[in-house]
Amino acid sequence: MMKKTLYVGPFLRIIAFVYDFFLLLGVWFLVGSIALWLNNGTILNPVIGIALVLISGWAFFAYFWTKSGQTLGMQVWKFKIVNSDSNKDQITLGQTMLRYLVNCGIFALFGMPLFLIYADSRKQAVNDILSKTHLEKINS
Residue 118 is assigned to a structural domain of this protein: yes
**Does residue 98 fall inside a structural domain?**
yes
When comparing pLDDT for 3 and 45, which is higher? 45
Query: Domain total for the chain?
Result: 1
Identify which of 74, 80, 66 has the alpha carbon closest to the alpha carbon of residue 20: 74
Query: pLDDT of 85-127, one tens digit each?
Result: 867 778 999 999 999 999 999 999 999 999 999 999 999 999 9
Q: What is the mean pLDDT of the chain?
A: 93
Evaluate whether residue 123 is within a structural domain.
yes
Short-list 26, 17, 93, CA closest to 59: 93
**In this model, does residue 1 exceed pLDDT 80?**
no
- Give the pLDDT of residue 11: 95
The C-alpha atoms of residue 23 and residue 100 are separated, in whole angstroms, by 16
pTM of the model: 0.91
Q: Decide if 7 is inside a domain.
A: no
Is the residue at 4 inside a domain? no
Question: What pLDDT does 139 receive?
Answer: 82
Q: Which domain, by its residues, includes 107?
A: 12-137
* pLDDT at position 5: 61
Contact (CB, 8 A) for 61 and 74: no
What span, in angstroms and rounded, lies between the C-alpha atoms of 14 and 92?
23
